[in-house]
Structures are given as C-alpha cells and as structure tokens.
Amino acid sequence: MDDVEKAILISFDESGAIDSELKLQAVNFCQKIKETPSICSLCIEKLCFCKLVQVQFWCLQALQEVIRVKYGSMSLEEKNFIRKSIFSMACLEGINDKMCVVLDSPAFIKNKLSQVLVTLIYFEYPLIWSSVFVDFLPRLSKGAVVIDMFSRLLNALDDELVSMDYPRTAEEVAVAGRVKDAMRNQCVPQIVRAWYDIVSMYRNTDPETCVTVLDCMRRYVSWIDIGLIVNDAFIPLLFELILVDGLLEQLRAAAAGCVLAVVSKRMDAHSKLSLLKSLQISRVFGLVSDDNDSDLVSAIAALITGYAVEVLECSKRVNTEDAKVISMELLDEVLPTVFYVMQNCEMDAAFSIVQFLSGYVATMKTHSSLQENQMLHISQILEVIRTQIRYDPMYRNNLDMVDMIGVEEESRMLEFRKDLFVLLRNVGRVAPEVTRIFIRNSLASAISSSSDKNAEEVEAALSLLYALGETMSDEAMRVGNGLLSELVTNLLSTRFPCHSNRLVALVYLETIARYMKFIQENVQCIPLVLAAFLDERGIHHPNIYVSRRASYLFMRIVKLLKSKLVPFIETILQSLQDVVARFTSMNLASREPAGSEDGAYVFEAIGLLIGMEDVSLEKQSDYLSSLLTPLCQQVEVTLMNAKALNPDESSLQLANIQQIIVAINALSKGFSERLVTSSRPAIGHMFKQTLDVLLQILVVFPKVEPLRTKVLSFIHRMVDTLGASVFPYLPKALEQLLAESEPKEMVGFLLLLNQLICKFSTLVRDILEEVFPTIAGRVFSAIQRVVDSSVTETNTEEIRELQELQKTLYTFLHVIATHDLSSVFLSPRSRDYLTSIMQLLLHTSCHHKDIVTRKACVQIFIKLIKDWCAKSSGEEKVPGFKSFIIETFATNCCLYSVLDKSFEFGDANTLVLFGEIVLAQKVMYEKFGDDFLVHFVSKGFPSPQNLAEQYCQKLKGNDIKALRSYYQSLIEHLRVQQNGSLVFR
C-alpha cells in the first residue's frame, strides 16, 4: 500500500481512532494529489489494480471533478485516454492488457463509474463521442455484469441530466435536449430491441437482470417513440410477465411499472384513448384480490389507479360522442377495481384519491339523471370515503389518553379528512338520496354492532352524519328533509357500547348539536337530547375532555332552545347537582387544573335557564339563592380566615375563589338588565349582595393579580346586568382596583372605565373626575419609556405591556372626548396633566405608526376645539388652548405631517385620516376664523399667491369633499416644490 492509498484510507476513516491532525494532513495530501497534472493516469492505474473500495471511490470522484472543471483545458490525448479507459472499465475489458476490477465492486462504486461516464457524455455526445451507446450494445452479450452496468449508465443519465423531476440550469436543459435528440435519431430503437431481447432471454434464468432492465426502461418511456414499446411484440411480453404465475414477483411488478409508464405518457387525447382501450387492462384486475402487502399488488394497484386517472382525463378532453362513450365504458370497467384498491391496498403517495374521485363526480354533474351503474359507483365512492376517514385501531389508546402520538394522529386525520368531506358534499349534491341512504345504513350498521371494539366504525359513521348536516340549509334541516328525521331520531335514542371512547363521545355530541335546528322544530326530541348531554354520554362522561366539551355544547343548546326547556328545568338542575356541588364545596382545586373553568359553561347554561321570565319569581329566587348563597358563604369564610392560612392552604383557597367567581360570572349571563332592575328587582338585590361580597376580595387579597382580574371581569358583567344600580359600588371597587394596578392591570381598568362611559355617558362624570388624576399620573409615568424614541428594546414583555397600555389610553381619551366628558380634563386636579395630554396627542397625531391611532387623536382634537372654543373672541375657556391649536396642532399635524412622504395617499386608512385632518381645518376656521386662516396660509403657502386664495375659497365653502380633493392636490404640489425636505418648517 503506497502513500496515496494510505492517505485516502485515513481521510475516509470515521471510526474516531485516527488522530484529527493526521486526518487533516491526509485530506490536504489527497487534495494536492488531485491538483497534479498526472492525476487522471494515477486514478485509472489505481482503478485497475486496487481493490480497496475507498480508493476506488476516491479515484472515480477525482476523475469526475477533473472532467467537470478542467475538460476545456485537457489535451486531446488525455481526453482519449480517459474516454477509452472508463469505457473499457464499464464493458469489462482490459486497459493496456490489465483487467480492471471495478465491476467486481459494490453497487455504489459501479454507480459512481456510471456518473463519470455521464459526465463525459455531457461534454462529448454526440459531436465528439458519437458511438458511446452503439459501442455498448454488442458488449451486452457478455452477460449480466455488463447489462447491469449499461442499465446503471442509462439510469445515471436520467438522474444527472434528462429527468425534469430535478431542478436544472438552462445549460443542462439544452444539453439534455441535445442528448435526447441524438439518441432518438441514432440508437433508441437498438436500445429498445436490446431490452426486449434481454428480458425474453433471461426471464427464467436471471429474473433479477430483467428487473434491472425493465426499471431502466420505465424511465425512458416518457420521451422515446411510444411505437417502439406499444406494438405486437413488447406489450404482449409485458402482460405475459405480469400474468404468468410463478415468475419472480419483483419481475412481474417491474413489468407493471413499464405498462404504467406507457399509460401515463403524454399524447393526444384520442390517440391515448385508443391506446388505453387496446391494452385490455381488465386482464390484471384479478391480481389485486390476494396478498395486499406484496410488491406485485402495490405495482398492480398503481397501474390500475394510473390507468383510471388517464381514462378520466381523456373523457374530459375528447370531443366526439363516440370517444366520450368509449371513455365512460372504460371507466365503468375499471372503477370497481379502483374502489377495491382504494379501500384495501397501500396507495402510491403520488396518487390523490380525492382528486381522482372529485374529477369523476364532476363528470356526473353534466348528466340530467344518473344511470344504474353510476348510482352503484356513487355508493362505492361513499364506501371509499367511509374507509378512508376511519381511524386505525392501533392508535385507539393514544387517542383516548390524548398523548403525543394521539395528538399527532388526530391532527393528521383532521387535515386528511377536510378534502374527503368536501368530496362527500359534492357527492351529496349529485346524488342526495343515495348519500343519505348510505349514511343511514352506516349508522344502522354501527348501531347494530354489539361489540365495543368497533369504535372506529362508529366514529366514522357519526362523522359522516355530522358532515351531511354541513351541506343542508337551515330550512331543509328544520323540515327534516328526506331521511333526516329518521337519522336524528336513531342518533338520539342510541347508546353505543363504545361510548366511553373519547372520539366517539365527542363526535356524537357534536352531531346532535349540528342538528339543533331540527330539534327546535321537533320538541318531542328534547328529552332525548337532554339525556344525551346530562348522562355519562355527555357532562358525566368519565373522560375530562368529553365532559368539558359537553358542558360548552350544552350551554349553546340551552341558548337555542331556551323557553322550550322551562318544563325540564327541575330535571336539568337535578342532573347537574353534583357538578354544582363541586363548586359549593371546599374541594374545587382537587380537580385537575386543566378543567379549572369547566364549570363556567354549566353555570352559564343554568343561568340561561333560570334567568328567563317564563320562570316564576318565586322559583327563580329559590334557584338563584340555592346557587349564590353557598358560593358567597365559601368566599366569606375564606376571607375571614385568610390570615390564619398557611401558604399551601392559601394557594388552594385562592384557586377555589377564582373558580367561584368564574361560576357566578357565568351564572349572571342569563339575567337581563331589564329583569333584574325593572321587572324583578329582588333578583337584582341578590346580585348586588354578591358583588358586595366579591369586592371584599380586593381588600383582603389586594396583590393577587389573578383574583383581581376575575373580580374586574365580574364588575364588567355587573355593569351590564345591574345597569345604573351598580353606581353605589363603583367608588369602592375603582379605588381598590387602582390601588395596586401594574401596567398590565391598568389596561383592564381603563377598559372598565370605557365600558362605564359608553353605557352611562355623562352620568359617570363625578366618578371619572375622581379617578382621572391618579390614572393620568400612573399611565404617563409608565408609558414615558415608549414615548421616548431612544427606547429600542421593543420586544421585551414589559415594553409590549406598556405599548398595549398606551394604545388603550388613546381609546380611553377618545371615549372621554366623544361622550361629552372633556370637562374632566379641566377639573382642578386634572389640569396638571393637561399639557402632557396635549403633547402626547399632538405627537401621536403627527408621527404614530398606526394610522387608526393617529385618526383617533385628530378626532379628539376636533371634539376639544368644539367643546372648549367659542366663536366669539371673548374670554378663553382654556387659556392658551386656542394659540396651541392654531400655532402648533394646525401646522404640525394638518400641514407638516401630511407633507411628509411617509403619508401615503394610496392607503385606505391614510385617506380616512386625511379626511379627519381636513375636517379639523374646517372646524378651526369655524371657531377661529381669520386668526387660523392667516397663520396657516402664511406657514404653508409661500407661493404662488393664487394657491392660498383657492384654499381659502374652498375652506369657506360648504363642500367638504371639494375641500379634501383640493387640499390633497395642493399637498402633492407642495411636495414637488420642497423636493423631499420640509422647507416650510
């Protein structure tokens, strides 16, 4: 072993036993060898003698690199030497009387040799080395080794150059075209003849070689003359190989692959149809009924589905009646087997079941009525859909426990089912009655099975019924068109043995909810619906995920049925007693945290039921008291004992209180403001007492943020429920909420004030004047970092919270201004913040990135001008405000900010902002007259004079649209004058 071989072995070593420094030296040594002038001679010599595969691979790799990089600079002698040597190696011939050992090497070495040959073909075929393929053909008589090498060469040519399955450069595409044209003219017929002879000769003695040849041939069918394959010799041979039992299975599969390539070849639709008909494909149908896991069955399945796709495509493209009839006959012939394949065989990933079936269903839309065989095909398509949407039983436990594997499988199936349900809808439109009968029979089959092992079948049948509901109009559902009445009744009255299965239970409940329009019209079904949701199939299901979803769906059903449920209230409350009891006992937190707010939906449903005026006042009071009293007592006991609790107990009790607030909040949603304040004030009194109790939480636990958030949410609810009668409770509540609020909580506090202002308007003036100074002080201090343009760390959580607070502040100020409460800004304690507010609004109206926020700030200024400025020139309501508006707001916001190129007139939101800016000018002129006009014109219109005159004319007129249009053209004119720099500042 010489130094070169040693260096190659060391550079390829992956054992870790070689010192890294030595390995680096070896790699560098090998690299230097590649750069020597004699590298080609060296490599070919090594390939003749050395049997070390690492050395052989390195030499072939080096040769390929040298040819690629240096071909243009090589001498003719060197090119001839390489060409002759490589070809001799591939043909099992000696080089200078020395027999090369490469073809005795592993497959990857022979593949590398074929790649070197293809690199030569890239540069030399057909102009320099025109005989490469022709010279190879006689040498195929040497037997399997050379035949194998020839196949590898053709495969490498396809991979490296010809196939368009890989991205190619423009140069590679041009070379591929040149090579294919030359091969078609020169040698393709001889190559095809060689393939035929080899397969005929070796089919019984060396089937593996035949497999290699057929797999190679399959690649070439797409671009060679189809007549070379589709003839009286080759097609019978291929079908004979497919059909003769006892031959090597891989050989039969390879023959099927070649026929599929023939079937898939692009050609004129009428020619393709004749070809497809001539193949008599029905001969292979019987081969898919045996072992569905074999290579042969997979290949036959691919052939049959590929054939069906091509027939369907022909049926769309042919334009004669005869051809259409033939295509439909061929489809009718192949479809039953296609359906069998789809249901029973592993499908080729490239074949889209949905795409094919959707295409077939689309052809039926053109028929006025469906024939008997088409009705049969529709039934088979529905069976395929049912098979395909069925979960694999191997995942049953994973899906029930919702572990990681289960989550992934459920997500995959949800995605996979989308297209299948679209297909179902299309089938339902073409053949509605057939579809309903199929779904009825599927459900009946699932119901009749007494085994709990058919969970997947039941789930699929219920999913089909659910999907059917998605296709029906509200009217059709109310009437119960077709079999719907029977389907829903069967569904409601059924208890499946596999109901404990999570997916079955969920789709069962979802399907009932889907058909609520029918149930609304058929009240006799209500007891069955209630039973399904209230027993172990629903809210009392052992699986937490099912009971949680059942609670939510039940609440939605109560919303829909409402007064129709009055006769069942006692029954419902009795059934939910244990759920309610979990909230009225002290062990709430023992339930798993993930379900901590499950009860909210149950309490909301109860609230909707008992909050109706159809329920008598006496019963309503009893129901509500039986719920609120124990819940409030729990809170009171916890508050009394708060100081005595250790940390663990305290954590548990705080969790309990949170859930209680959530429950009461949800319960109150069923009671309208009119009911609790006008028609039944006694009910309102009960909620006021509850509010009193819950507000104590803010006093006892002032710094527990989750509790504060829940109480705040309840106050929001009580504002809607109690109306103005909530006022006596607000000062205390707002004081406590404001006492400890962080920026994040301040957002919630401002949202509460916004709700109060929007609901009660000027009635909250006194409350607002009381809290506004504190709010302003806190918020301005907090948001200073956001306003400060030097702050760059905009992704921190703190900065995001402050940005949210600032955004909410603008809404808050806008709500105040637009609800006739601007006097709040002028109260003695708030005046200290007036300058800060004005500066913030000014800066925002001119520079904020969010156009909607800028618009809100301009609207605030418009309202303040209207509120604070009289038309007469008497005493100013707000000293200095008029001059601030004329000298600062008008020029900065209405002129300079609009002149800036960042102000995009092409943007819809920006145009709305521009409209507000123009309106502001109109309002300023109405309030300030020439004081505004003279100053504004002097700042903005240096020349020519007629621009100012036209502006004044438009401003004084009554056509705001004309003013806006003129002002936009004026701004665009001024932008051209200033040439990108605000020269007028």
Question: What is the rounded distance in angstroms from the CA atom of residue 105 to the CA atom of residue 739?
Answer: 84
Say what the pLDDT of residue 983 is: 45
Long-range Cβ pairs for the range 14-18 (8 Å, 24+): none
Q: To which H or E segment does residue 121 belong?
A: helix 107-124
Question: What is the rounded distance in angstroms from the CA atom of residue 470 to the CA atom of residue 757?
Answer: 42
Among 431, 428, 423, residue whose Cα is nearest residue 375: 431
* Assigned token pair, 512: 């009932």
Read off the pTM. Answer: 0.79
Q: How many CB atoms lie within 10 A of CB 536?
A: 14
The percent helix, strand, coil of the chain (3-state, each to 5) is 80, 0, 20
Question: What is the rounded distance in angstroms from the CA atom of residue 526 to the CA atom of residue 517?
Answer: 12
**What is the signed CA dihedral for 543, 545, 546, 547, rounded to 10 degrees?**
80
Burial class for 353, CB neighbours closer than 10 Å (0-12, 13-18, 19+): buried
Say what the pLDDT of residue 769 is: 93
223, 231 contact by CB (below 8 A): no
Say what the pLDDT of residue 595 is: 41
Q: Which fold has domain 1-124?
A: 1.25.40
Say what the pLDDT of residue 597 is: 57
Say what the pLDDT of residue 652 is: 84
Say what the pLDDT of residue 858 is: 96
Say what the pLDDT of residue 593 is: 40
Residue the block writes with tokens 């945290």 = 593
Q: Which fold has domain 567-740?
A: 1.25.40
Ranges of the chain whose pLDDT falls below 70: 1, 96-99, 290-293, 349-350, 450-453, 482, 584-598, 740-741, 785-795, 872-874, 942-945, 978-985
Question: What is the rounded distance in angstroms from the CA atom of residue 695 to the CA atom of residue 735?
Answer: 11
Domain with CATH 1.25.40 in the chain: 1-124, 567-740
Burial class for 538, CB neighbours closer than 10 Å (0-12, 13-18, 19+): buried
Question: What is the rounded distance in angstroms from the CA atom of residue 565 to the CA atom of residue 701?
Answer: 40
Say what the pLDDT of residue 584 is: 64
